[in-house]
Structure 1
Amino acid sequence: MPVAQEDPRHKVDRHVLEMLVCPLTKTRLTLGAEGKELISVAARLAFPIVKGVPLLALDEARNVEPEEVQALTRRGS
């Protein structure tokens, strides 16, 4: 069985990601470790990326645990 590869049309351009901000705090977003969500450290929210499109609606976001935020801040240092 062949391994399914991600459709290149569904990848988010890193330059676009640099322009996006959290809709709640207006602070910079961090790409999650697996590249499937954008995380607002300030708001402790993670916004999903679906088929290459970041869903920045607050009702789409999940809460991020404090341990996950700490790991992100260490990774960014």
Structure 2
Amino acid sequence: MLAHKQDLTHLFVDSGRDWSSKAIHAALDQCGVDLSSLEQELGLKAGSMRNVFYRQCRSYEKIIANRIGVSPSIIWPSRYSDRVA
């Protein structure tokens, strides 16, 4: 009998706030992938996708969000805010 993977993101993700790097890593792990394998798959330099944790990188954000199965605005709401300063 196969055990189903549970969605436990609600335990470490605050709604309306950017996900922590640990939450992103955990969500990717739940999908059976990590940043290193994504980089290899896409032909990127090792460690390049880590930039997404420190600054806005729309292309990497989209790749990660697609793998997790959510919109980038769910993971990084502060980066996709419609508010005008």
Q: Tell me the TM-score normalised to structure 2 length.
A: 0.28
Larger RCO, structures 1/2 (Cα 8 Å, 6+ apart): 2
Higher helix share: 2
Q: Which has the higher strand share?
A: 1
